[in-house]
Chains A and B, each alone.
Chain A
Amino acid sequence: MPHPAHDDDLVMSLVEMALALPPGDREAYLRSACGGSDELFTQVWAYVDSEQRMKGFLLDPIFPRVLFEHPFQPGDLLEGRFRIVREVAQGGMGIVYEAMDEKLERRIALKCAKIGFHKRLPPEVRNASEIGHPNVCKIHEIHTASSERGVVDFLTMEFLDGVTLAERLVAGPLPPGEARTIALQLCAGLAEAHRKRVIHGDLKSNNIILTTADDGTIRAVITDFGLARSQEALQRSMQSGGPGGTPEYMAPELWNGGRASIASDIYALGVILFELATGRRPGAPVGDTKQWLGWKPPAVDRKWDRILQRCLDPDPARRFGDANAVAEALAPPRKRLWFLAAAAAAVLAAATGIVTYQRTTAPQEVVRLAVLPFESRGAPDPLHETMLRDAANRVGQLKGNSHTKLEVISFNDVLRKHADSVEKAGAMLGATYVLHGTIAREKDQLRIQAYLTDTRSRADAKEWEATYGAGEERYLPVALASMVTATFHLPPVGAVAVNAAAREDYLSGLAYLRRDSAVPAALSSFERAVRSDPDSPLAYAGLAEAQWFKYFQTKQRSWLARSDKSAREAQRRNLDLAQVHRVAGLHLANVGFYEQAAAEYRRAIELEPGDAENYRRLGQVYEYDNRKGEALIAFQTAISHQPDYYRAHVELGSYHYNRGDYTEAVEPCKKAVDLAPDEPNVHFALGATYLNLGMFDQAERQLRLAVGLDESPNALHSLGLTLMYQKRDREAIEYFSRGLRRNPENYLSWMYLGIAYRRTKRTAESVAANRHGQELAESEMARNPRDGYVRSIRGYFAAALGDRGRAESETAQALILAPGDAETRWMAILTYEALAEREASLAVLSRSSRPQLMDITRWPDVADLSQDFRFLQLLATLNLK
């Protein structure tokens, strides 16, 4: 027992008590409280006395401590409609309120960002509001309110009365039956979200609410879909490159700078399933360290173990491909006998490589499929039943394969038992999947919506809609059957060739498609093929592809629209042909749906494993999605399949180029020049590479060759750029202008033209060029908000036109969206230099390669940066390595 005067607890309690009293009462209180111990009194009084004299000296930290502010108070009325009732919860970034929607007189939850976090909601939330599933919290609306804090977005959502799974788990592990029920519901909700192209990004037991469904059963609801990204963005911009998310639910690839994906959501789901099974977390490594090597989750109950091992595999490629697959593995035990087939599937996968990795260890699945009568909208039509019967017959003829055993329930059985709903088909016929939908005749047209639904989770494995014109109904049976083959990776259905009349044109069209310069020839060949065989999905798919390339080369939206239309024509005839998937992949990737695009290409590879083009495109999508390792493998696979295909080499060159590894890029580009010397693109690629290596003479030679073969806007642009490096700005202006005459929408040319004008003191023209480019970049950004590069250019324009705030924010976001992209970094550096933010430039440079640093030293506008001693230090460090 210490002496009272040395007892910190006692002394400080007395000090605190005394200071809480009016100054005049303090001494008397202490004399009495110290109970006659002079030493104690002396000590305590000395503290109280000095505190009085110091008048709060040093109590305020040098920077004011920011106290948490509550954005809203109970009783507040937002937008004249939402009355705040109480604060329900606070998360990492947001606050949830219970509120009343006084207009609709319903109880809602209202969520807004905490002060200090992003005030604006990320675009993903808009997609999230489209998810309608009982196991996903329904977002009603996104509102924007003006408040004294500026513009604040808030969400109104379904109000869920319950506890979070995390809270529930504190009370101990769940009974096995309940755990399984919750697990299946979470899988179903997540699968539906992924199908709607929404990644959760921060799945954890805190984001799961357990509530009671109307029928009294348990209902697990996933909340906060799409919200994680804004938080992630913030954290990353604050920490220059650290991961976002909640550490113990974060997949290893996120620690290494990867972006949230379906696979990382599956990992987080695995952590939650682990909690459901055991009541605790698997104890995975936290951090981007070597600890992940060989890490495996601890073994758990046999029923869960294999599933958890696969969800939690550090290698994203070895996890379940989607949440439905997890649900299937969790489904009643009789299903899991098919695990025995996994070994056979693995052997097959080894033989076919990249194609089947998703399904490597998946059990052979039994699909018991029922085709239901489609619900007729409008007048009943006997033709519909005939059509459906044809479709059911088509589906009935489909064959399974080594990973899927297909059993189709006869259409007559379906009709006889009146199994006219997903529920009934599951219960009465034992169907695991149901093909159903609606059909409506509107004048001459037949409008169809079809769904392939899992009867256990109620999730739609595939959804498709189309409108058939007069006389086109005959395509419907094959189209519906192809929906099934595509979903279950079955062998294709229907004719896989064009008719004899179209054959020659079709084949030459395919050959032309393989050369960039032959796109016009491909277009006319496929147009003829379509005329000769208008029933063929292949001819239309080829045409769609040629039109897409035309769009790609000219950037004229009208070609994109035409391509889209042709692609739909193809899909109406058959969804599941390699050619059709390839086109779908282009369209999906073009709007940022990379995961879905990759799935299209993977299916194309399954169907046509020998075609290098499939691998090349798959690699491109991986590259857009920052999955660099996978991209490289795909490009190398493309080359190994068809070593003479110049585009595969150009692509490999571009891959290195995009990383800033210009030296590495030279060889593949040279190889492409050897293979296709008449293709302007190969000279362009090699020229651009030389340009970045500072080899201006060689660059100019290659680019002039490219311009000579085809005066393409890109080649003219790069030639202009080469001249600008050499301070030949007047000549450069002429090439940019020529390029812009051919393609006025090239914002990049507007940008450099703006710089060239500025350097030649033509200020007004410079501003005009920047304004014009800014508008174009803005609309391009709206098309694909995930494109970091375009965003970085948008940031540059903002800086050039004096909008510092916008410049900083776009650039920060761009660096997050395209963390490995050298061009984006280059743009960020130009922007930061324009803003005189040297620190930020240097931070970007510290993540750049040596060639890129060298490139900086050559660009006339940033001479100041390349003279900075810190820049020189960076360069020196890189030289040492």
Chain B
Amino acid sequence: MGDITELLHKWREGNREAENELFAMVLPNLQRLAHYLMKGERPGHSLQATELVDQVYFRLVAAKDRDWENRGHFFAIAGRAMRRHLIDHARGRPDAVLVSLDGIQNLLPANGSKLDLAITVDRLLDRLAGTKPEWCTLVELKYFLGLTDEETAEALGIKLRTMQRMWLDVRKWLFEQAEPYDAASGA
């Protein structure tokens, strides 16, 4: 196992390899989470994403590194991993290896179009990746990982209100971009 502090550091500097290594650390647990969720277990019985990521984090990071900054980055990685994993799965890529798609449909509260929405959001985020990486991270934390505002603000290392404002900005942008898709899918 690589030194996680160093990996996080490299990742912050845009090192893709470091990102992959970090993914490898987080992914098995996220898969488990997704597995639990997708199997349609009653929500009351599942673990929360934060709890799970925290556990992983605890396991990987030694005491001296347990500052908000690294914890935040770790959550960011987890959010990214969750997004990738879920989207890979939703698109039925051969290397996505979880339960069947039916499970996802059952899980999502409204209807199947939620999954289409996730794919749409993912596509739009790809457009933002170069210009507004922090927006991407925010969506990954809030939408894909399901963190609360407080947790997200902490993970990003910004004030709560600043985070909330940014979240409004991102949602607004995504909403405007996504409208045509929504209309097309009839939702």
Contact = CB atoms under 8 A, between A and B. Distances in A.
Interface of A: 8-9, 11-13, 15, 47, 50-51, 53-54, 57-66, 69, 115-116, 149, 235, 238-240, 242-243, 247, 283, 285-287, 289, 291, 838-839, 843
B142 interface: yes
Contacts of A47: 165, 168, 172
20 contacts: A9-B161, A47-B165, A47-B168, A50-B172, A58-B121, A58-B175, A60-B109, A61-B142, A62-B144, A62-B146, A63-B107, A116-B46, A238-B29, A238-B52, A240-B28, A242-B59, A283-B63, A287-B60, A287-B61, A843-B28
B9 interface: no
B174 to A, nearest CB: 7
B134 to A, nearest CB: 14
B158 to A, nearest CB: 9
B146 A63 contact: yes
A286 B62 contact: yes
A235 B46 CA distance: 13
A239 B52 CA distance: 8
Contacts of B62: 285-287, 289, 291
Contacts of B164: 8, 12
B44 interface: yes
Contacts of A66: 43-44, 46-48
Contact of B43 (A51, A64, A283): A64
A283 B66 CA distance: 13
B55 A235 contact: yes
B54 to A, nearest CB: 11
Contacts of A239: 29, 55-56, 59
Contacts of B159: 8-9
Interface in B62-96: 62-63, 66, 86
A66 B14 CA distance: 33
A54 B172 contact: yes
Nearest to A57: B175
Nearest to A59: B171
A839 B44 CA distance: 25
Nearest to A284: B63
Contacts of B142: 58, 61
Interface in B12-56: 28-29, 31-32, 34, 37, 43-49, 52, 55-56
B49 to A, nearest CB: 7
Given A62-B114, A239-B59, A285-B63, A149 B143 contact: no
B101 interface: no
B131 interface: no
B122 to A, nearest CB: 10
B25 to A, nearest CB: 11
Contact of B162 (A8, A51, A115): A8
B128 interface: no
A63 B37 contact: yes
B168 A51 contact: yes
Contact residues on B (Cβ < 8 Å of other chain), bracket: 35 or more
B52 to A, nearest CB: 7
Contacts, number: 113
A11 B161 CA distance: 8
A11 B97 CA distance: 44
Contact of B86 (A62, A65, A285): A62
Contacts of B63: 247, 283, 285-287
A255 to B, nearest CB: 9
Contacts of B168: 15, 47, 50-51
Interface in B147-183: 148, 159, 161-162, 164-165, 168, 171-172, 174-175, 178
B111 to A, nearest CB: 13
Nearest to A47: B168
Contacts of A115: 44-45
Nearest to A71: B44
A57 B178 CA distance: 10
Nearest to A49: B172
Given A58-B142, A66-B47, A240-B28, 10 more contacts: A47-B165, A50-B168, A58-B139, A63-B107, A66-B46, A66-B48, A149-B45, A286-B62, A287-B60, A289-B62
A54, A63, A243, A283 — which one has the most chain B CB atoms within 10 A of its CB?
Answer: A63
B136 interface: no
Contacts of A57: 171, 174-175, 178
A12 B145 CA distance: 23
A8 B32 CA distance: 37
A116 B46 CA distance: 5
Contacts of B107: 63
Contacts of B178: 57
Nearest to A115: B44
Contacts of B118: 62
A51 B169 CA distance: 10
A8 B161 CA distance: 6
A863 to B, nearest CB: 20
A617 to B, nearest CB: 35
A746 B184 CA distance: 64
A50 B175 contact: yes
A15 B61 CA distance: 38
Nearest to B48: A66
Nearest to B166: A8
Contact of A58 (B31, B34, B59, B143): B143
A11 to B, nearest CB: 6
Nearest to B164: A12
A69 B59 CA distance: 27
| 4 interchain residue pairs of minimum CB distance | A61-B146, A286-B63, A8-B161, A12-B161
Contacts of B148: 65
B57 to A, nearest CB: 11
B108 interface: yes
A63 B47 CA distance: 11
A149 B43 contact: no
A161 to B, nearest CB: 31
Contacts of B144: 61-62
A674 to B, nearest CB: 43
Given A9-B161, A50-B175, A64-B109, A149 B44 contact: yes
Most chain B beta-carbon neighbours within 10 Å: one of A53, A116, A285: A116
Nearest to B37: A63
B62 to A, nearest CB: 4
A235 B60 CA distance: 14
Nearest to B51: A116
Contacts of B55: 235, 238-239, 242
Contacts of A149: 44-45
A168 B70 CA distance: 31
B44 to A, nearest CB: 5
Contacts of B43: 64, 66
A621 to B, nearest CB: 29
A618 B134 CA distance: 58
A230 B38 CA distance: 24
A124 B146 CA distance: 36
Nearest to A119: B45
Contacts of A64: 43, 109, 146
Contacts of A59: 171
A54 B171 contact: yes
Contacts of A240: 28
Nearest to A290: B62
Contact of A839 (B31, B61, B66, B86): B31
A235 B58 CA distance: 12
A66 B48 CA distance: 6
A216 to B, nearest CB: 40
A54 B86 CA distance: 24
A13 B161 contact: yes
Contacts of B108: 62
B66 to A, nearest CB: 8
Given A63-B107, A239-B29, A286-B63, A839 B161 contact: no
Contacts of A51: 168
A65 B17 CA distance: 31
Pick from B48, B59, B121 the residue with the most CB of A within 10 Å: B59
